[in-house]
Amino acid sequence: MKLTGALAIVEALHKEKITTIFGIPGGVVIPLFDALYGDKKINMVITKHEQGAIHAADGFARSSGKPGVCIVTSGPGATNIVTGLATAYMDSIPVVAITGQVPTAIIGNDAFQEADTTGITRPVTKHNFIVKDPNELTSVLKKAFHIAKTGRPGPVVVDIPKDITTSEFEFDYPEKVSIPGYNPTVHGHTRQIKKVMDAIKEAKRPLIYAGGGIISSDASSELKQFVKTTGTPVTLTLMGLGAYPGTEPEFLGMLGMHGTKTANYAVDRCDLLIAIGARFDDRVTGKLEMFAPHAKFIHIDIDPASIGKNVVIDIPIVGDAKNILKEMNKHAVKLDIKNWQNEVSKWKKEHPLAFMDDELLRPQYIIDQLYKITKGDAIITTEVGQNQMWTAQFYKFDKPRRLITSGGLGTMGYGLPAAIGAQFANPDSTVIDIAGDGSIQMNIQEMATISQCMLPIKIVLLNNGYLGMVRQWQEFFFNKRYSATCLKRTKGCPDICSNPGPQCPQYVPDFVKLAEAYNAVGIRITKKSDVQGALRDAISTDKAVLLDFIINPEENVTPMVPAGAPINKMISSKEDAEAFLLA
């Protein structure tokens, strides 16, 4: 049958079983939005900013395991999704972004709302296309979804000029595609797997270090089987939280800059580090030359470019984590590592994550209570900064795809629109955005999307009046010179201020009033005794709720590994930081 390009795109989305799309219309994509008008199979969610659309598509993908899709117009519409593309690229999230482009005849003429979308997005996408022949449109779309989902997942951009969407051609959507040079390895080499198993059986202090690749490949059950069979302790990256149940005894917590002391000590002491679906990034390794100094390294990853990039690997395996763990489980046996298990258990008892139990309203207590009230049965999105790290530390994730957060890029403003995507992907689930008062304002306009779509999203706002993580570094390493981090600061404040207190001006905005302006429920909590009731009330209602928790302004995330330090050198106070700087 003959279709216009716009109708062909809609039909291709049907073939890919896409049911939800996020975006904003604009001049050159009017034909595409017209083709979507009244479509019964696709829910078109209109966000209030293109960055909100791409983050919502990303949140949809992370929480569902299916590709997220967004549609935006040319020029500023396309450039506004670049941050979201980079976010998805760093964390290996399958997103397909369809961008409009000016007609092919005037590309390169600096036409109205023209931008070199493929040139701009090339560094932050797995691949991108520009369609200049209508007969290639359907094959390009098929390739885009195939590339986004397979191998190491990632975002793909399809840039489509306006005349392609209005041209008519014979619609034919391919069932399969063959892309020269693109054939990801999914099965690990048998000989390498044997080497891995031999090394594991010989190790006295083995440790599994797993990341987001476990979640991407749906390998959580295989990882759990391997850990339970062998008894090997396991630590997870931020992106891997939930890949192994956070309440199981073998789990040591997150490792790295704000990881647990147990996890970091285990990395420092292990004699075999088994990395699966992780990439040895700097927030994990700390001082690279002192990372796991006694260990041999095994690295299992579907992306061959990630293996050996940061550390020298003794036994590499390229392939899908699920397939490789299945093979490893066939040969797994209980290991004779009782001394190692006892040593790790001792660290867990001696160095638990803890916070001061006093009358102050502390963020750790809020998250701990949130976990207890939800019983871990919620999808948690986060903004970026202290709120994100407190969540990683104090909310126990027992299942994959329950923590939705920006890891690699650390994108402030991510959590709120990501919660929208997660709620659409999981309409019957409780979705909660744990936010900071600085980060959430970067995409606060998506409160309108939440309201208009009548989504029951809950926002737990940890309001300290600061860009908290930067302020923490300023406290530890810059003698409390809080430059540009106080969110209460006005023109009337003194030039130099390092003494926050009751004399400070009122904070702008009033988040309770702001929530009400967006037709949500706003509640301010200032007392520890009110936390449980407020959380229960919020979760029990089917309305969107913003809980504005006024927390201790100088609360810090600890433990913390200073930049450039080995990960076994953790600090917990300004005094620790001063001692570190003097050493």
Query: What's the DSSP call for residue 211?
Result: -
Amino acid occupying residue 62: R
d(CA 377, CA 173): 40
Which H or E run contains 163? Answer: helix 162-166
- Choosing from 126, 162, 261, 322, the catalytic residue is 162
Amino acid occupying residue 200: I
And the tokens for 280?
């040895």
And the tokens for 405?
């957060």
Q: What is the pLDDT of residues 156-198, one digit of tens each?
A: 999 999 999 999 999 999 999 999 999 999 999 999 999 999 9
Active site residue 162: yes
- Choosing from 48, 66, 113, 192, the catalytic residue is 113
Domains of the chain: 2-170 (3.40.50.970), 190-350 (3.40.50.1220), 363-465+507-550 (3.40.50.970)
Which H or E run contains 128? Answer: strand 127-130
d(CA 78, CA 93): 18
d(CA 568, CA 573): 16
Q: Tens-digit pLDDT profile for the chain (583 aa)?
A: 899 999 999 999 999 999 999 999 999 999 999 999 999 999 999 999 999 999 999 999 999 999 999 999 999 999 999 999 999 999 999 999 999 999 999 999 999 999 999 999 999 999 999 999 999 999 999 999 999 999 999 999 999 999 999 999 999 999 999 999 999 999 999 999 999 999 999 999 999 999 999 999 999 999 999 999 999 999 999 999 999 999 999 999 999 999 999 999 999 999 999 999 999 999 999 999 999 999 999 999 999 999 999 999 999 999 999 999 999 999 999 999 999 999 999 999 999 999 999 999 999 999 999 999 999 999 999 999 999 999 999 999 999 999 999 999 999 999 999 999 999 999 999 999 999 999 999 999 999 999 999 999 999 999 999 999 999 999 999 999 999 999 999 998 888 876 677 778 888 999 999 999 999 999 999 999 999 999 999 999 999 999 999 999 999 999 999 999 999 999 999 899 888 888 7
With CA atoms as reference, report the closest residue to 58 among 90, 87, 37: 87
Which H or E run contains 529? Answer: none
363 contacts 463 by C-beta, under 8 angstroms: no
And the tokens for 150?
């397979």
d(CA 248, CA 208): 14
Which H or E run contains 209? Answer: strand 206-210
Report the residue count for the chain.
583
d(CA 556, CA 356): 12
Active site residue 113: yes
Helix intervals (H) in 297-382: 321-331, 338-350, 363-374
Burial of 43 (0-12, 13-18, 19+ CB in 10 A): middle
Active site residue 112: yes
- Choosing from 17, 41, 112, 228, the catalytic residue is 112
Residue 375 falls in which region: left (phi positive, over 0), alpha (psi -120 to 50) or beta: left
Q: What is the pLDDT of residues 434-456, one digit of tens each?
A: 999 999 999 999 999 999 999 99
CB atoms within 10 A of CB 62: 31
- Choosing from 16, 50, 327, 383, the catalytic residue is 50
- Choosing from 90, 469, 560, 570, the catalytic residue is 469
